[in-house]
Amino acid sequence: MALDLTPSTRPHGAQRMISATILVIEAFVVFFAVLVAHQLAPGDRALTWTWGLLTVLALVLCTGVLKRGAWPYWLGLVLQLPVILLGVQVTAMWVVGLGFGALYAYGIFKGHQLDGEKDAVDAEVWAARGEGGDQAG
């Protein structure tokens, strides 16, 4: 199985929409987990806020660059690690972080598969109509 995550050229592909949705929801969850960690670990508040807000910012920025190739999808996978490691301060984040990581991984691979299938169907339709492969429509 090839790990080619290059996004489809379609402007609103399933891979991009699924991945962006998961990353934005995850950013909200991390922010609320930081609020919880603020109360649970009062001695580490500076670390908690720095780690949490940088993670939230990275998740949101990653969402914005998903259309730029395969690297943002790999970056999103790497960003699952600080989310999972937030479990050091908020125990529930071990489970929540792993769940989001699995959901994100499934979303990017399944979205890539769906976009490939949609592109193949579009190519068949364009060939039957005798049109070019311009996907701007």
Q: Using only C-alpha atoms, what is the Rg of the chain?
A: 18
Q: What distance in Å separates the CA atoms of residue 137 and residue 131, rounded to the nearest whole number?
A: 12
Domain ranges of the chain: 14-126
Task: Say how far residue 127 (Cα) sits from the centre of its chain.
Answer: 34
Task: Say how far residue 58 (Cα) sits from the centre of its chain.
Answer: 11
pTM summary value: 0.85
Percent of the chain with pLDDT over 70: 93
Place of tokens 């500076």: 46
Smallest Cα–Cα separation from 76: which of 117, 4, 27, 3?
27
pLDDT tens per residue across span 74-94: 999 999 999 999 999 899 999
Place of tokens 């479990």: 87
> And the tokens for 59?
């998740």
pLDDT tens per residue across span 6-58: 777 777 889 999 999 999 999 999 999 999 999 988 888 898 999 999 999 99
